[in-house]
Amino acid sequence: MQGTVAALLAEIVGTSAIDPSGNPGVIAVHPDGEEQISQICRLAQDHKWRLVPRNRPLVQQNSTPTVVLYTDKLVGISEYAPGDMIVSVRSGTPFEALQDSLRTKQQMLALDPVCDSHATVGGLVACAAYGPSRVGYGVLRDMVTGMRVVRADGSVIKVGSKVVKNVAGYDLPKLFIGSHGSLGIITECTFKLRPIPRHRTLFALTGSATEIARIYQEIMRRALSVCALELVGAPQSSPSSNSDDWMLLVGSDEVADAAQALQAQIQAIDGRVSLEIMQNSQVAEFWNRYRQELIPAATVLRVQMAPTRMVAFAASLRQVLSELGISVKWSLTLSEGVGKIYGHDRDPKNVETLVNTVVRQCQSTMASSVIEALPPEFLWTQPMMQSPRVRESELRLMQQIKDAYDPRGIFNPGVYARGM
Ligand SMILES: Cc1cc2nc3c(=O)[nH]c(=O)nc-3n(C[C@H](O)[C@H](O)[C@H](O)COP(=O)(O)OP(=O)(O)OC[C@H]3O[C@@H](n4cnc5c(N)ncnc54)[C@H](O)[C@@H]3O)c2cc1C
């Protein structure tokens, strides 16, 4: 079977653009552009192969022939208008390379997800990636103005536009953001850009869950203008912190005067917390260290709930996990009611305990949980998404959308809610 699949693919891309992958039933293919991707999609649809757009190795968990479609040849900026602050970029372009190019014009894509240097623009869009700066800059759904996508029948569609003012009608790019490769292969994305801030400040407040929750509420009550409000576990290297402490990171990308006014407001909030203030390169170094600590995680779980409940939820979950001997890292975007829990332990028993505990804790508090990453060798047969808020009628509608874009279910089957 693998030989036939490889032979058919070789007719499109040539033998040098195919790797057997060493994984039974999985063939990796490296098309050089949209035309080849279209032909591969048509072939996959005709033969009902699984087609997985991906930029890193895939561990096969079922016997359906699987073609892993790498976007590593779809690289580079196709159009950049610094004056309009708009860039169109091919989907296999590494995110870091895009930011390096934009930096030459003092511009950036205002996105700071936890990802390694291999992460691509298309992969990040497909995952709806975000980081702490979503509080100030919004999420990818606010930044993507247009996209080119290859559908299951091989047709190439352009959704949205290359200008900020979008065409009238349904905002289709939003459908593909966070679709995890289940609706089509993204080949190009157009983004709205932001200027790189001239001054950056980060306030790190460390204290107990009760104190941090009170300070967070005070920041919200005073409607302070901030670009990050992230809750992480207090670093244990600090002599003043204890193991139950949390650190609230309050970011500002405003000019120095505004940052000073914010500092005065934060210092005026009475609380038993320690305060550290970082500026410019210290801020960049801090976030870099934060990312480097999280990247090696094997398990990533996303939780969502009402913002006001997040600190108490995290404190109680941390207590339960610590009683089970499970240690994790936290990154909770308080004002957005969304957070990630990172487990570095690869022991299958501990991974299972972590996932089950988080899912149960969410269920008992009407919060949602999504499994974003698991160790590749770990077999998980439960749904990846547990949300008490997604109704049956919504799931039916999602299935109809999936059927419209991918009627034979070739794209990444099972990656999304309800096996879609
Ligand atoms: C340890 C760890 C921590 C993480 N933490 C965070 C975090 O804090 N915040 C966050 O937002 N994300 C997080 N992620 C997700 C991560 O940022 C993205 O998975 C990753 O950056 C995307 O990498 P990639 O380009 O190699 O895509 P891959 O990992 O290869 O693919 C990711 C998904 O996107 C799909 N995909 C890839 N390219 C395309 C395309 N061109 N068209 C359609 N679908 C496509 C794939 O099918 C797959 O479903 C984490 C992941 C890991 C493993």
pLDDT greater than 70 at residue 266: yes
Task: Give CA separation, 195 vs 59, 93, 151, 192, 389, in Å.
Answer: 40, 21, 34, 10, 37
Query: Of ligand 1's atoms, which has the minimum distance to the CA of residue 415?
Result: 49
Structure confidence at residue 366 as a pLDDT band (50, 70, 90): confident
Q: Which CATH code, of 3.30.465.10, 1.10.10.10, 3.40.50.9100, 3.40.190.10, is assigned to 78-195?
A: 3.30.465.10
Kindly report the protein residue whose alpha carbon is nearest to atom 8 of ligand 1.
114
Which spans in 177-237 are helix H? 209-221
Distance 119 CA to ligand 1 centre (A): 7
413 lines ligand 1 (CB under 6 A): no
Q: What are the boundaries of each domain within the chain?
A: 2-69, 78-195, 201-289, 293-386
Nearest CA to ligand 1 atom 12: 129
Q: 404 in helix, strand or coil? A: helix
Token readout for 30 is 């490296």
Closest C-alpha to 33, from 182, 161, 150: 150
Compute the distance from residue 55 Cα to the ligand 1 centre, in Å: 9
pLDDT beyond 90 at 344: yes
Determine the Cα–Cα distance for residues 39 and 142; give it in Å rounded to an integer.
32
134 Cβ inside 6 Å of ligand 1: no
pLDDT over threshold 80, residue 240 = no
For the domain covering 201-289, report its CATH number: 3.30.70.2190
Q: How far is the CA of 409 from the centre of ligand 1 (A)?
A: 21
Q: What is the pLDDT of residue 19?
A: 83
Residue 184 · residue 108 · CB < 8 Å:
no
Instruction: Find out whether the beta carbon of 234 lies less than 6 Å from any atom of ligand 1.
Output: no
Task: Please tell me whether residue 43 adopts helix, strand or coil conformation.
Answer: helix
Q: Which pLDDT score is estimated for 223?
A: 94
Question: What tokens appear for 389 in the block?
Answer: 């808020």
pLDDT, tens only, 383-395: 666 666 677 888 8
Tell me whether the CATH fold assigned to 2-69 matches the one assigned to 293-386: no
pLDDT at residue 296, rounded to an integer: 94
Map residue 44 onto helix, strand or coil: helix
Identify which of 54, 75, 177 to mutate to test ligand 1's pocket (most ligand atoms within 8 A of the CB): 54
Decide: 181 in ligand 1 pocket, CB within 6 A: yes
Gap between the Cα atoms of 82 and 74, Å rounded: 22
The span from the CA of 333 to the CA of 340, in Å, is 8
Average pLDDT score, the chain: 90
Q: How far apart are CA 65 and CA 353, in angstroms?
A: 32
Task: Give me the mean pLDDT over the 369-378 stretch.
Answer: 84
Q: Which of 67, 75, 99, 114 to mutate to test the pocket of ligand 1 (most atoms within 8 A of CB)?
A: 114
pLDDT category of residue 404 using cuts at 50, 70 and 90: very high
Q: How sure is the predictor about 415, in pLDDT bands with cuts at 50, 70 and 90?
A: confident
Q: How far is Cα 130 from Cα 5, in angstroms, rounded to an integer?
A: 36
Determine what percent of the chain is predicted with pLDDT higher than 90.
74
pLDDT at 341 over 80: yes
pLDDT score for 59 = 63
Q: Tell me the CB-side half-sphere exposure of residue 371, using CA atoms within 13 A.
A: 27
> What is 293-386's CATH superfamily?
Ribosomal protein S10 (3.30.70.600)
The dihedral through the CA atoms of 87, 92, 95, 100 has a sign that is negative
| Residue 218 near residue 184, CB atoms below 8 Å | no
Quote the tokens at residue 45: 């649809």
**% of the chain surpassing 70 pLDDT:** 90
Fold assignment, 2-69? 3.30.43
pLDDT at residue 277 is higher than 80: yes
Task: Kindly tell me if the per-residue pLDDT of 73 is higher than 80.
Answer: yes
Cβ–ligand 1 contact at 415 (below 6 Å): yes
Beta strands per DSSP E along 99-167 = 107-108, 144-150, 156-160
Name residue 189's amino acid. Answer: C
pLDDT of residue 244: 85
Nearest CA among 286, 290, 267 for reference residue 202: 286
Query: And the tokens for 298?
Result: 């094997």
Cα of 121 from ligand 1 centre, angstroms? 9
In terms of Cα–Cα distance, which of 152, 146, 110 is closest to 131?
A: 110
CA–CA separation, 334 vs 135, rounded Å?
A: 9
Question: Cα separation of 336 and 309, whole Å?
Answer: 11
More confident residue, 340 or 412: 340
pLDDT at residue 239 tops 70: no
Find out whether 383 and 374 touch, Cβ atoms under 8 Å: no
| Global ipTM | 0.92
What does the pLDDT average to over 313-332? Answer: 95
pLDDT at 235 over 90: no
Q: Is 414 in the pocket of ligand 1 (CB under 6 A)?
A: no
Enumerate the H helices of 254-391 as residue ranges.
256-268, 281-294, 310-323, 348-364
Regarding the beta carbon of 123 and ligand 1, being less than 6 Å apart is answered yes
